[in-house]
């Protein structure tokens, strides 16, 4: 692997994820019961369910065969371990644009896409740092494609492994099971984010 679009990171987020998982499932249940407000999000081609001051859940129906729900916001941040904030604080101190923490589960494939950005967001680049909490498909993997060089790279969805992903290039997930992901979103170029993790001794 050339690591031009993805890179392994030596970070493991040891945590009892049951609390996050249970809240996530409760929000989905409330969403299905119409207890949360739905606003169509044209940029993401998805529905955004507002949790008010507690954040939001984005539900995508176009990239997966089954609804893909991504949760972010203050309620999620409240239940995360304090040690996780070391990373976001260091990202900010290094003038990298930390956006948020996210959590999601999904079943099956995720179609090829480039993560969408609003017009007021920097076009210099954007990355996801994905920690694989769990994956029931031992062969699941993320595949990235660089259209300028016709180059493919991939990385496996191995539980308790973390990867930097250049979300500004087309990428997809090949998966036949359930994947559970904790995500750190950064609106900065991949090379800068990779260098940050390298400088902090977190790149393998």
Report the run of H or E that residue 142 belongs to, with start and end.
strand 141-146
* Residue 75 within a domain: yes
CB atoms within 10 A of CB 89: 11
Q: Is residue 172 left, alpha or beta, with left meaning phi > 0 and alpha meaning psi from -120 to 50?
A: beta
At residue 3 the predicted structure's pLDDT band, cuts being 50, 70 and 90, is confident
Calpha distance 185→128 (Å, rounded): 5
Calpha distance 82→108 (Å, rounded): 32
Report the run of H or E that residue 102 belongs to, with start and end.
strand 98-107
CB atoms within 10 A of CB 11: 19
Show the domain range for 150: 6-199
**Residue 34 corresponds to which tokens in the numbers above?**
């119409």
Calpha distance 180→196 (Å, rounded): 25
* Cβ–Cβ under 8 Å, residues 149 and 182: no
Task: Tell me how far apart the terminal alpha carbons of the chain are, to the nearest angstrom.
Answer: 13
* Residue 1 within a domain: no
Residue 187 in 3-state DSSP?
coil
Indicate the range of 37-46, 157-166, 184-193 predicted with least confidence. Answer: 37-46
Residue 155, pLDDT above cutoff 80: yes
* Residue 204 within a domain: no
Round the CA-based radius of gyration of the chain to a whole number and report it: 16
Q: Which residues pair with 59 in a beta bridge?
A: 47, 69
116-136 pLDDT, tens digit each? 766 556 577 899 999 999 999
Residue 1, pLDDT above cutoff 50: no
CATH number reported for the structural domain that contains residue 118 in this entry: 2.60.120.10
Q: Which residues pair with 166 in a beta bridge?
A: 127
Q: How many domains does the chain have?
A: 1
Tell me what the pLDDT averaged over the chain comes to.
Answer: 92
* Cβ–Cβ under 8 Å, residues 141 and 174: yes
Calpha distance 110→104 (Å, rounded): 13
The predicted model scores a pTM of: 0.93
91-110 pLDDT, tens digit each? 999 999 999 999 999 999 99
């Amino acid at each position: 692997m050339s690591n031009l679009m993805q890179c392994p990171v030596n970070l493991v987020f040891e945590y009892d994820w049951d609390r996050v998982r249970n809240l996530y499932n409760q929000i989905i249940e409330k969403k299905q019961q119409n207890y949360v407000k739905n606003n169509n999000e044209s940029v993401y081609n998805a529905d955004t369910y507002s949790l008010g001051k507690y954040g939001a859940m984005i539900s995508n129906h176009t990239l997966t065969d089954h609804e893909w729900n991504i949760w972010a916001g203050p309620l999620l941040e409240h239940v995360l371990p304090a040690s996780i904030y070391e990373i976001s604080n260091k990202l900010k101190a290094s003038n990298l644009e930390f956006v948020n923490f996210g959590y999601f589960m999904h079943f099956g494939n995720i179609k090829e896409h480039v993560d969408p950005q609003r017009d007021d967001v920097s076009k210099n680049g954007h990355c996801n740092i994905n920690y694989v909490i769990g994956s029931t498909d031992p062969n699941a993997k993320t595949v990235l494609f660089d259209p300028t060089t016709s180059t493919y790279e991939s990385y496996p969805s191995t539980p308790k492994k973390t990867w930097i992903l250049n979300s500004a290039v087309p990428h997809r997930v090949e998966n036949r099971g359930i994947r559970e992901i904790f995500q750190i979103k950064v609106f900065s170029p991949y090379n800068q984010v990779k260098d940050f993790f390298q400088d902090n001794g977190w790149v393998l």
